[in-house]
Structure 1
Amino acid sequence: MPPYKKFERFLSQPDGNGKRIKLSRSNSLQHVTPCGKIAIVGVGSRGLTILERLTAIYDEQLHYYELDIYLIDPGRYHGQGVHSSEQSDNLLINTVACQVTMFGDESVLNCGPMRKGPSLFEWAKNINNEQCKGREIKENDYLSRALLGKYLKWCHDELVNNLPKGIRVHHYYETVNDLQRLNDGRLKLFLANDCTLYVDCAILTTGHGQNSLDNEENIYTKFVEECCSINPHLNYFRSYPLNQLQSIDKHAKIAIQGLGLSCHDVLSELTCGRGGHFLFDENDELTYMPSGNEPEKIYVYSRNCLPYSARGMNEKGVGGQYQARFFTRAAIDDLREKSGCFQLDFEKQLMPILIHEMCYVYECTLNEHWIEPPTKFQPSYETLQVIHRLMYPLHDVHFTSYDLFSSWIIQFVEHDLDEAYRGNIHSPVKAATDVLRDVRDTIRYAVDYRGLTPESHRSFIQNICPIMNRIAVGPPKERNQELLALLRAGVVEFACGPHAQVKCQREKACFEISTLSRQVDVDVLVKGMIETFYPKRDNSNLIRNMLKRGLIRSFFNGDYHPGGIDINKNQNPITTTGVPVRNLWALGNIVEGPNFYT
């Protein structure tokens, strides 16, 4: 069923007790027709999308009810979420401007009436120069999150200022502390300001939360508490919110754990965010000009010590996607039919098809000729080796010294940048890795709703996803250029090679990061990774109270908990008794577990 039909179906069908949902009347406004009440809890970009769809599908000529929509979010501007317009301009989004939009087009299927509106690129071209610092905006620019926040606020204002006649929007700049389902089927929301709201249905789009500290983090924070009197610079941070990092003294040495997208955010905050800047020298090489306010030294490291690969220059326009020849829904259906089992083993059954697809794109791009029909294609040994090295670049590579690793990793980043500049159509390497982005919907089709066996699901999340993220959804190429410039300037340094260990050194009151070939001591450790949402570790009152009430439960695939709350295929949360809450929906980070890569 098309997603936009779900709300209409809900309003016309019986609830779980066989009763029809009764549309409540507004407490604050007079209505001449029945009035439905909908709450959107969490109004970032995803919550704003729900508002856009509700207002687009509503037609006062066709619907017998009016709508009161309650937007509930503590942010200063509804619609922005984590993309606050007040954050630093040096923090970038990770998608090119022409591919970011709040409005659909004819390519979007089964979503109801389309509302025309500008993409981020189209909007940014037409705003005043002060916001864009007087520079020309191009389709493939990676714009700032602050500018995206302004775009989202503009979209919110456009929607609210042009509502259909039968819809009213109510803004609550608060958090929801609790949610209760009443005997009559309605939902009661308890806000932090002691206000209560009664609604017919609600959508949870709460975004990224914050977990309580895990065992390792508890060790670090206890160590800091006990030893900060010896070393006043000693501290431990999670990467977000980034503005907390401004408290790090410029005389401190720090280490960032993780080399993904969050690492680049932290680096930007501690360099450009402190007055440093990048410029091209006379040899057209990017260089970093320090401000003197940066930390004394910034070390970076991770489990494999491999930076994320740069995104290939976009050559696919707004919505161009490679159409898979092998890794298709039909292929997945065929595997399930032949095995007689819905659950698959990703590594054994799906990964060979995915690698075959990447090999096909690599060879066809390399030879500038598409093999037709694709069934004739058999990858060469050399092509298989290329794809293997992309996924496992450290296989059979051994470093006998830190200097050898340091030299190797810089060449690794430089070579990857060369491929990124060739583009995601013309570079065989970037065309092949871009397959992983273009078939993401098919991966979801295979993985979502316990589509893998528990053992395979665990391996997929822990082993395969990190590889796919590193080679396919890395930072803009400019970020890795900046990393090289920071390395050349001596501001940043790799702490050591792969498989680093972290120890709390009480005698020196510092964190020690080491491998067999090198050891560095730092004052501040920053966890540069985005946390997985685990309901039982989430710090929000809403999640804790919904768990206590049994309205939600953690998602499990067998004995494996990848994160997220349990839902059915209609995105309704499932209670502890196994019953879906039909008038409650959950989308986004909160359901990353049953859903893959929302």
Structure 2
Amino acid sequence: MNNNSKYKIGIIGFGPKGFYGFERLIAYLNKAKISRTVRIHIFNNTSFLASGDVYRSDQPEYLIMNYANRNINSWVLKEPFSSATKTPDFVTWLTDNGYNAVASGTYAPRALVGDYLVDCYQFVLEQLPMNIEVVTHIGTVTNMIKEDDDYKVFYSDKISGELEAITCNKVLFTTGHHSFKTQKNQSDNSGNKIDFIYPTNEKLKYISSPSLVAIKGFGLTAIDAILALTEGRGGNFIKNETGDLKYISSGKEPHKIYPFSRTGVPMIPRNGLATADLELFFLTEEVITNLKQHRPINFHSRLLPLIKKEFYFSYYTVLFKNYGHQFYFDTDFSVMEKQVKYFHEDYPDAPVFNWETIVNPFKEKSVLSTDEIQDYMQYLIDEVANGEEKSPLISAVATWRKISPIFNELYSFGGLDAVSHREFDSYYFGLFNRLSYGPPVKNMKKILALSKAGVLDFTYAKSATISKDDSDNNFSLHIENGQRTQIDYVVNATISRAKEGRFENELYQNLLKNGLIREFENKSKTSYKPGCIEINKDGNAIDVNGYVNNDISFYGTPTEGITCDNDTLSRTRNDFASVWAKYVCEAIKEKDERIEKYERQEHVF
């Protein structure tokens, strides 16, 4: 058989998800003993291969994970097993490399996770079969067109600046989210508006020390920005006599930092201890099966009541235990409510479960004070210290982490009706992230210390409006009561997700224009376009005419909006990489068998 013709595969975007796809592809090719030469083209914006920008190794150590060390593992224990001779999980890798203190801790620096991912990539490269070639292209992919049965990928080379073209037979997209604007469309980060904070040492270096800085957002990215402008400028945190943190200024940080968001409510922090093996009592297998059989699902009428009941049960299980009682489950929820009623009659000072208070403790307040937010943050820190075993609140919010993978199954591919889909994307996704996927408590203590030191000011935390002053190049931050402060710099510390009516990235706009993809539309009862591409349940592209294109696949954040919550290092969450790798391997084998059959026929004649 003539197998000298190279089979060419492209992986566009090579952070963790790109590496996962690569690792699965090598495993399948190795198992199938493919003899044809296979060339894998890797395209990435930067040289931080496998780690990507989120885990790049040049980040400062104070930027830490909110995903516990024990959960990080770049490998899957299923066939075909990796061709790498070493497949350590993160904790094992830390120990093997002398990071014993970090290994025994809870949350590692993101840069260290990046080093781990890079090493895992090298482990695979070291065991590549002789017929597999890997070619790396550092630059920005801007377009892809179909040519006969192949695809021409266009990218702007980062070093030469030239527009290059590479031909591929199959392509996997694992890029950052397609709603991100391309670099040339972003605001000038050397000015007084920063649209994206990573890498922080580059993007935030223009902010001068005596300035007033507004930070849009109050989530994980905002915390990173705040720490980069304080601890990253030489400030120090020390423990005071009560064990709390105190901030010692370096004099190089901004004069004031004003975070602002829609609710003004900080995320609930985490202590990183193992989540109890939570059992779900209302979202049972039988209930889930029934919900799947009656899609589309209305979130408010059918799902949210069950979620609230799961929170309720977790809350009171711990609260009853704290008072020496047991909370009994009953399929009749009114029986459980009677238990709670009698309990509170006996213990009138015990905290009462209130969904609205958990969701938004400051809902009725239009303006918040720094003191109010400081008190709430201290309350959260104290609750986290008690953990899921003793804190009813922490036990309740931990429930979502158990529900989340089940919800993903119900949500994906138009599982919710269009109205519910829009509402979840715009409100509940952020809400559950704030409740259940917050920062390490260590970082929350730092934020509280910065506020007490006067560097961080929460005057404009809730529902503030930012506007550009006509007279100069500055901004103003103002709230309902009329209070206003002139701002020198504005930092956008929100991470863009798929949003209705937004399809901004140049690459995905071109794929759309070329008819290779189409935008997903949920047409259940009404219509909602979440701003994402349409794929089938194997991650393959649906083209402009509605046909499945098995040559083009998507994995990770590009699938956000049609699937849910892909911003994770999980190897199992929406794992389109394994399906893609298996299909590519089978396609190569089928092509080789056709060639071999043809050559046999030629030989006969």
State the TM-score bracket (shorter-chain normalisation): 0.7 to 0.9
* Code of the aligned partner of 1:202: V
Alpha-carbon distance, 1:427 to partner? 2.7
Alpha-carbon distance, 1:191 to partner? 3.0
Corresponding residue for residue 532 of structure 1: 497
Corresponding residue for residue 204 of structure 1: 173
Corresponding residue for residue 91 of structure 2: 121
Taking the TM superposition and a 5 Å limit, the aligned residue runs for 1:512-591 are 512-516=477-481, 518-533=483-498, 540-558=505-523, 559-591=527-559
Corresponding residue for residue 238 of structure 1: 195
Is this contact kept in 2: 1:309–1:471, CA < 8 A? yes
Corresponding residue for residue 475 of structure 1: 439
Greater Cα offset, 197-206 or 116-125? 116-125
Alpha-carbon distance, 1:170 to partner? 2.4
Corresponding residue for residue 463 of structure 1: 427
Corresponding residue for residue 68 of structure 2: 96
Alpha-carbon distance, 1:517 to partner? 6.4
Alpha-carbon distance, 1:212 to partner? 4.1
Relative distance call for 1:258 and 1:527 in structure 2 (3 A) is same
Query: What is the DSSP-based 3-state SS (H/G/I as helix, E as strand, rest coil) of the residue aligned with 1:137?
Result: helix
* Code of the aligned partner of 1:86: D
Corresponding residue for residue 177 of structure 1: 142
Corresponding residue for residue 573 of structure 2: none
Greater Cα offset, 585-594 or 425-434? 425-434
The one of 309, 312, 330 aligned to 1:359: 312
Query: What is the DSSP-based 3-state SS (H/G/I as helix, E as strand, rest coil) of the residue aligned with 2:354?
Result: helix
Alpha-carbon distance, 1:370 to partner? 7.2
Is this contact kept in 2: 1:212–1:537, CA < 8 A? no
Corresponding residue for residue 220 of structure 2: 261
* Code of the aligned partner of 1:327: L
* Code of the aligned partner of 1:388: E
The one of 492, 502, 505 aligned to 2:469: 505
Query: What is the DSSP-based 3-state SS (H/G/I as helix, E as strand, rest coil) of the residue aligned with 1:247?
Result: coil
The one of 135, 150, 161 aligned to 2:115: 150
**CA–CA distance in structure 1, aligned partners of residues 461 and 494 of structure 2:** 19
Relative distance call for 1:150 and 1:162 in structure 2 (3 A) is same
Corresponding residue for residue 333 of structure 1: 289
Give deviations 1:139-174, integer Å, cap 9, x for gaps: 452211211111111111111011245433222223
Is this contact kept in 1: 2:521–2:530, CA < 8 A? yes
Taking the TM superposition and a 5 Å limit, the aligned residue runs for 1:311-390 are 311-316=270-275, 321-337=277-293, 341-368=294-321, 375=331, 378-379=336-337, 380=340, 385-390=353-358
* Code of the aligned partner of 1:121: V
Is this contact kept in 2: 1:313–1:423, CA < 8 A? no
Query: What is the DSSP-based 3-state SS (H/G/I as helix, E as strand, rest coil) of the residue aligned with 1:43?
Result: coil
**CA–CA distance in structure 2, aligned partners of residues 578 and 104 of structure 1:** 33
Corresponding residue for residue 450 of structure 2: 486
Which structure would you say has the larger RCO, counting Cα contacts within 8 Å and 6 or more residues apart? 2
Alpha-carbon distance, 1:539 to partner? 5.7
Relative distance call for 1:248 and 1:61 in structure 2 (3 A) is closer
Alpha-carbon distance, 1:514 to partner? 2.0
**CA–CA distance in structure 1, aligned partners of residues 23 and 559 of structure 2:** 21
**CA–CA distance in structure 2, aligned partners of residues 459 and 536 of structure 1:** 15
Corresponding residue for residue 21 of structure 1: none
> Are residues 1:50 and 2:50 paired?
no
The one of 94, 101, 115 aligned to 1:136: 101
Relative distance call for 1:442 and 1:458 in structure 2 (3 A) is same
**CA–CA distance in structure 2, aligned partners of residues 360 and 157 of structure 1:** 47
Corresponding residue for residue 22 of structure 1: none
Alpha-carbon distance, 1:64 to partner? 6.4
Relative distance call for 1:166 and 1:411 in structure 2 (3 A) is same
**CA–CA distance in structure 1, aligned partners of residues 284 and 239 of structure 2:** 44
Greater Cα offset, 204-213 or 83-92? 204-213
Is this contact kept in 2: 1:98–1:122, CA < 8 A? no
Alpha-carbon distance, 1:295 to partner? 0.8
Query: What is the DSSP-based 3-state SS (H/G/I as helix, E as strand, rest coil) of the residue aligned with 2:467?
Result: strand
Corresponding residue for residue 9 of structure 2: 38
Corresponding residue for residue 402 of structure 2: 438
Relative distance call for 1:265 and 1:476 in structure 2 (3 A) is same
Relative distance call for 1:425 and 1:38 in structure 2 (3 A) is farther
Query: What is the DSSP-based 3-state SS (H/G/I as helix, E as strand, rest coil) of the residue aligned with 2:416?
Result: coil
> Are residues 1:454 and 2:411 paired?
no
Is this contact kept in 2: 1:278–1:288, CA < 8 A? yes
Alpha-carbon distance, 1:583 to partner? 1.2
Give deviations 1:9-28, integer Å, cap 9, x for gaps: xxxxxxxxxxxxxxxx9xxx
**CA–CA distance in structure 2, aligned partners of residues 469 and 199 of structure 1:** 38
Give deviations 1:205-260, integer Å, cap 9, x for gaps: 012456349xxx99xx7xx99xxxxxxx9822223233221101112111111111
**CA–CA distance in structure 1, aligned partners of residues 461 and 505 of structure 2:** 37
Is this contact kept in 2: 1:211–1:537, CA < 8 A? no
Give RMSD over aligned pairs: 3.0
**CA–CA distance in structure 1, aligned partners of residues 105 and 286 of structure 2:** 33
> Are residues 1:72 and 2:43 paired?
yes
Query: How many percent of aligned residue pairs carry the same amino acid?
Result: 26
Corresponding residue for residue 361 of structure 2: 393
Alpha-carbon distance, 1:280 to partner? 0.9
Corresponding residue for residue 229 of structure 1: none
Relative distance call for 1:564 and 1:309 in structure 2 (3 A) is same
**CA–CA distance in structure 2, aligned partners of residues 155 and 374 of structure 1:** 48
* Code of the aligned partner of 1:71: I
Corresponding residue for residue 294 of structure 1: 253
> Are residues 1:251 and 2:251 paired?
no
**CA–CA distance in structure 1, aligned partners of residues 102 and 271 of structure 2:** 19
Give deviations 1:18-57, integer Å, cap 9, x for gaps: xxxxxxx9xxxxx857754321111100000111112223
Alpha-carbon distance, 1:177 to partner? 2.6
Q: Where in structure 1 are there 5+ consecutive unaligned residues?
A: 1-24, 26-30, 226-232
**CA–CA distance in structure 1, aligned partners of residues 174 and 500 of structure 2:** 14
Is this contact kept in 1: 2:65–2:109, CA < 8 A? yes
The one of 557, 560, 567 aligned to 1:592: 560
Corresponding residue for residue 495 of structure 1: 459
Is this contact kept in 1: 2:501–2:531, CA < 8 A? no
Alpha-carbon distance, 1:561 to partner? 2.2
Query: What is the DSSP-based 3-state SS (H/G/I as helix, E as strand, rest coil) of the residue aligned with 1:191?
Result: strand
Is this contact kept in 2: 1:346–1:456, CA < 8 A? yes
Alpha-carbon distance, 1:375 to partner? 2.8
